Structure 1
């Protein structure tokens, strides 16, 4: 980069997020076309120079964070404002009964255990709601964002963050819809969804993952949960309030697909173009997996594209400099 007076500042990395993820390193400029092969030590070596951000370090999030840490990312940022409870010990990795009894922050519990993997700490815990200035600025320093949340507002923030800072975003979700039979409630399907979003392409909003109406409904449910108790499904299993569902196997299946999506984009190995995999959904009851191409979604223009840390952050006044955490 050149300053107005002609001074030169070297750039270590130029990254471009599209259907594939491209990384050009200053020290590899003599061999710009050589990319590491997936699943090799060369891939691990490059990952050691990158930073991943995992938003939500709970059900799918703790599994996703575990994978990116053990894959070898040089730095991992975890964002979560919740604390450990006994009801979620069956699906959050690295948590114990002692953590639940002490209501320890999920992200700090994860950091304490995972940082033992290496000589120096590499996992940075951000104990904050993603709808805070601190969380957004922390996430902006990553090279890729993994969104592993169950709140639409958090997905909206991740969506905006990816557009503003030109970052790839991989969003994962699971669900267990039910059906009513003559005698009982039965499982209709066991599903998982992975969406890959890149700057300038279709966003989560464009794909209907959230809408203004669904965001308003979520906000109302949080403000007056009693009034919405009979209208909003609770937990993973639709139609059946369940505070401690046994879903770690489903979470692991979805989280693996989430991280594999990143590998497929950064170190392509698929026989088809990555553009055919904008969204992946699996249905375990049907033993079926389907894919939707980027062309299946209409990308709407957004004024957020590439604005970086312009104020107010992400175009949201609540994230302005006046915010106090």
Structure 2
């Protein structure tokens, strides 16, 4: 069993403010967590627990029995009350406390106290209840663990934050492999960036026009783990924009994911690749999607975008959604190409694709029908109840590559802040024909996905992501 943690910059700030005060005393807080249970991580092939911080509730002064710089003791009556809330809302209750002068590890007293809280949690909420615990020292989060029973504990491997700045806190020392291929990148972005790229699990949904150039860049930037999702095969009309794809691939209808995997492995840079040639809503993709630290949405279907849209908020996994629209218009008798590229970051604190009017619910429903009941789809199509396939969209490799690069630039900003502390852009549209970038807004009244913190970090629910069907 492996385990990790995700929280927002806001929740990390609240924990630091509450637990790491200047009076040099220990402090404690209750923490409510959403939970993601992964049966098999695509890379380690082991089960994984992913915790998402939902709420922080400081232990009040009147609850504290005794405290100094080396210990804190408080009444656990509220812990019992919170167990009831956790069961009702599908959450887990844990604790966080501080060691103002160290040590940077849990004490034997912590072990005894937390084992009893784990026993209390399982007695009240059943054997599936867990009891997470976080430790702060010298103003920083230094350790974390999960009690899966009163006798068994799993250490957290790392914690990551989402928001305008993505940080990762490693709890265990990792062996850093210095690669000569990344030496120039290290000069620009630092050794920490290279280490994080090697550690992250990155998903790419769609290995076509924008996904293909992404999959050329990410391994060369040191990506250690990549999952690729795409059910389609190579066609002759794809060859003008699929890197590495050949005429023979189109003739033999080779899967796009296999072409992408082949090209990455040809680089010989050590990137581990897992491929899924199913639609992302399929059950076989679920564990892999939930295991990612970052996902690039390179799909052109509305239903797939709606799924990723929910995934970002339910599981606190940032999604960078990419879009490109090419239109040929006529002005004053002259044929003109208009090209709009877009990179949109989906995570709590940012507006979703629905509120930005990027996805069409009607088109998504038609796509779902075509996938699940093709006969009914064709019947409705013949009766003009659905829009049909339409004409093929224009595609030019220069523009698909440029839009993919926009998305990579946003990833770099949030990991490295090369544009400065306030340089992150949640939604950027590039008008190639005008040589300008724009930042379109969203609806004034956000929807129940991006506006409702009830689902942010909620994790596993039935049905998956609260989607019917």
Instruction: Give the TM-score normalised by structure 2.
Output: 0.59
Q: Matched residue of 1:156: which SS?
A: helix
Seen in structure 2, the aligned counterparts of structure 1 residues 230 and 2 have a Cα distance that, compared at 3 Å, is closer
CA-CA distance at 1:231 after TM superposition: 7.5
Q: Aligned pair 1:139/2:305, yes or no? A: no
Q: What corresponds to 2:436 in structure 1?
A: 288
State the distance in 2 between where 1:279 and 1:37 align. Answer: 29
Q: Matched residue of 1:129: which SS?
A: coil
Q: Aligned pair 1:20/2:170, yes or no? A: no
CA-CA distance at 1:6 after TM superposition: 6.3
State the distance in 2 between where 1:27 and 1:194 align. Answer: 34
CA-CA distance at 1:120 after TM superposition: 5.3
CA contact (8 A) 2:303 2:365 kept: no
Q: What corresponds to 2:365 in structure 1?
A: 216
1:252 to 380, 385, 401: 401
CA-CA distance at 1:294 after TM superposition: 8.4
State the distance in 1 between where 2:253 and 2:202 align. Answer: 26
Number of residue-to-residue matches in the alignment = 302
Q: Aligned pair 1:236/2:384, yes or no? A: no
Q: Matched residue of 1:189: which SS?
A: strand
Q: Aligned pair 1:300/2:457, yes or no? A: no
1:169 to 308, 319, 323: 319
Q: Matched residue of 1:9: which SS?
A: strand
Q: Matched residue of 2:203: which SS?
A: strand
State the distance in 1 between where 2:188 and 2:217 align. Answer: 15
Seen in structure 2, the aligned counterparts of structure 1 residues 12 and 175 have a Cα distance that, compared at 3 Å, is same
Which structure dedicates a bigger proportion of its chain to strand? 2
Q: What corresponds to 2:336 in structure 1?
A: 187
Matches within 5 A, 1:196-215: 196-215=345-364
Deviations 1:63-120 (A, max 9, x none): 1122112211110000000001111111011111111111011101211221233375
CA contact (8 A) 1:54 1:76 kept: yes
Larger radius of gyration: 2
Q: Aligned pair 1:310/2:461, yes or no? A: yes
Seen in structure 2, the aligned counterparts of structure 1 residues 119 and 92 have a Cα distance that, compared at 3 Å, is closer
Q: Matched residue of 1:123: which SS?
A: strand
CA-CA distance at 1:125 after TM superposition: 0.9
State the distance in 1 between where 2:327 and 2:206 align. Answer: 22
Q: What corresponds to 2:224 in structure 1?
A: 74
2:215 to 58, 62, 65: 65
Q: Matched residue of 1:286: which SS?
A: coil
Gaps of 5+ in 2: 1-144, 174-185, 372-376
CA contact (8 A) 2:231 2:277 kept: yes
Q: Matched residue of 2:210: which SS?
A: helix
CA contact (8 A) 1:55 1:145 kept: yes
Structure with the bigger RCO (C-alpha within 8 Å, sep 6+) is 1
Q: What corresponds to 1:322 in structure 2?
A: none
Q: Aligned pair 1:10/2:143, yes or no? A: no
Q: What corresponds to 2:427 in structure 1?
A: 279
CA-CA distance at 1:49 after TM superposition: 0.8
Instruction: Give the TM-score normalised by structure 1.
Output: 0.82
CA-CA distance at 1:221 after TM superposition: 7.7
CA contact (8 A) 1:221 1:232 kept: no
